[in-house]
Chains A and B, each alone.
Chain A
């Protein structure tokens, strides 16, 4: 990382740490920023598979929901701390990712997207139907027991804000570490030419499998954060294609696939945009908020097809006067 970039990252982190001082700790704004961090972290875990391996997963809700249900069910039935439940969810999420990765790793492009989309939907249907375990369509409530750090239970949004911020930093650190490691180079080679990568010694199957497991495990752990923040969720919220799978892919794509800053920028744009569209337009005409939101997204993708992250690169090049 070069100097100005590192400086910008430190400044952004300081700003994020100080921001709640100016916000109502119970208010709406801090909740939106918390969601920005959480969805930024989710998009960053998607980025390991979607960006580094360039496999367009539309099924990451499967891992997210798995994590949310695992920690919450362990909490409800056994009183297990969600922090430990989060680890259990991460293990299950990683295992599920390995399971889905094995049959789909030979698929590419649209076929991989469709297969993963189907996997996410299967998980949603299962969660809706298996009422005995999941509570079915009624959903699941996290027992209210504020304010306990051990039980990850807070009335105010402020603790969640810092936890989500820490999660975003950690997942981003994992992403950067992978990108710079041998695994990152191998993923890049696999993405560009699988046969050539194999012939010079890259175990393409293992490379894709590791990326999928890391991505799925991180996504599942973030499911716990979401459950504890919301106190309530149902299969459609955590396993849904539109609210989770497509949303995290969209955030990473709008921000810049394969870059560390992309999912963060994407979340900074998309989450507030969604909230604003809902806040100002949903009371006007039915569907107007979704329409406006979609329109803005199309505009962003048309203007900046490589994501918002490429804006910075373009600006940097312009400043140095290079072609």
Chain B
């Protein structure tokens, strides 16, 4: 399970006006692991995801994907190098069909016909093969989140950042996604997830990185994080103290 680092963050900093959204964030993501990113609201989780894929240009620091600097690359370059993400607030192409949404991701490495076929496979993986022809804008929130996952998978990433894709899912749906993520890890994909449901995060992740006010609070196994006094104080609350 413990592979070499596939993604290395060194001193990643990002400021929005007077707000230090990310301050000197340094950690490694190991090849083939599921890494959980936790922290209270406003801790910088989504900002960090946006910085990693190149949507936010970081002010200082370095981001290495498989040894290559990606901190100043455009998002489409980062995607081509194998790093992409889903959007927390769901950013599908609402007017297009579900299949066409996923097809866009597939175009990164295939022609239209190849991307269409592959999009079908990706939809089947997230359990949405039945609604391929539906308009993306007409879907329920949980369905849209899964289309996001399928679209990201269609780019054939090495590292995939999932921003609250399990929000608003019921038990059965959550279990399906958890099973899918484990399967993807089994296939060698590296995953970084942000989720609010702590039990799921603790059960699913190999390691956890805790952020608070844009700074790294702690890194460790779920058990270590659950016991870490700073994390408990900042975020987890009494439930995990005992």
B92, A196: Cβ atoms closer than 8 Å: yes
Bound complex: CA A43 to CA B115 (Å) = 31
Q: Is A24 an interface residue (CB 8 A)?
A: no
Bound complex: CA A197 to CA B91 (Å) = 9
Q: Is A181 an interface residue (CB 8 A)?
A: yes
A199, B79: Cβ atoms closer than 8 Å: yes
Bound complex: CA A167 to CA B108 (Å) = 33
Whose C-beta in chain B lies nearest to the C-beta of A258?
Answer: B95
A193, B91: Cβ atoms closer than 8 Å: yes
Bound complex: CA A193 to CA B80 (Å) = 18
Give the A interface residue count (CB, 8 A).
Answer: 20
Bound complex: CA A186 to CA B84 (Å) = 17
Bound complex: CA A186 to CA B104 (Å) = 7
- Chain A nearest CB, measured from B170 CB (Å): 26
Count of chain A to chain B residue pairs whose CB atoms are closer than 8 Å in the complex: 79
Bound complex: CA A182 to CA B151 (Å) = 15
Q: Which of A15-23, A129-137, A200-208, A220-228 contacts B (4 or more CB under 8 A)?
A: A200-208
1/0 contact trace for B111-128 toward A, CB 8 Å?
Answer: 110010000000000000
Chain A positions 176-198 with a Cβ under 8 Å from a chain B Cβ: 180-182, 185-186, 188-189, 192-193, 195-198
A185, B105: Cβ atoms closer than 8 Å: no
B84, A195: Cβ atoms closer than 8 Å: no
B84, A196: Cβ atoms closer than 8 Å: no
Main secondary structure of the interface of A (DSSP, over half): helix
Q: Is B240 an interface residue (CB 8 A)?
A: no
Most interface-central of B54, B75, B92, B151 (chain A CB within 10 A): B75
Bound complex: CA A95 to CA B107 (Å) = 27
Beyond A182-B112, A192-B96, A195-B75, whether A201 also contacts B105 by CB under 8 A is yes
- Chain B nearest CB, measured from A133 CB (Å): 40
Q: Is B162 an interface residue (CB 8 A)?
A: no
Bound complex: CA A232 to CA B53 (Å) = 54
Q: Is B208 an interface residue (CB 8 A)?
A: no
1/0 contact trace for A146-159 toward B, CB 8 Å?
Answer: 00000000000000
- Chain B nearest CB, measured from A203 CB (Å): 5
A201, B108: Cβ atoms closer than 8 Å: yes
Bound complex: CA A199 to CA B154 (Å) = 12
- Chain A nearest CB, measured from B146 CB (Å): 15
Q: Is B152 an interface residue (CB 8 A)?
A: yes
Which one of A182, A193, A204 lies within 8 Å of B93 (CB-CB)?
A193
B112, A188: Cβ atoms closer than 8 Å: no
B112, A198: Cβ atoms closer than 8 Å: no
Which one of A180, A186, A196, A204 lies within 8 Å of B107 (CB-CB)?
A186
- Chain A nearest CB, measured from B127 CB (Å): 20
Whose C-beta in chain A lies nearest to the C-beta of B55?
Answer: A195
Bound complex: CA A185 to CA B74 (Å) = 20
Bound complex: CA A199 to CA B53 (Å) = 7
Q: A188-B96, A200-B108, A205-B74 are in contact. List 16 more A-B contacts (CB 8 A).
A: A185-B112, A185-B115, A188-B93, A188-B95, A192-B94, A192-B95, A196-B87, A198-B54, A198-B74, A199-B75, A199-B76, A199-B79, A200-B79, A200-B104, A200-B152, A202-B76
Chain B residues proximal to chain A, CB less than 8 Å: 53-55, 74-76, 79-80, 84-85, 87, 91-96, 100, 103-105, 107-108, 111-112, 115, 151-152, 154-155
Q: Which 6 A-B pairs give the minimum distances between C-beta atoms? A: A201-B108, A198-B75, A201-B79, A192-B93, A196-B91, A200-B105
* Subset of 17 A-B contacts with CB under 8 Å: A182-B111, A185-B115, A186-B107, A188-B100, A189-B93, A195-B55, A195-B87, A197-B93, A198-B75, A199-B76, A199-B79, A199-B84, A200-B79, A201-B76, A201-B84, A202-B104, A205-B74
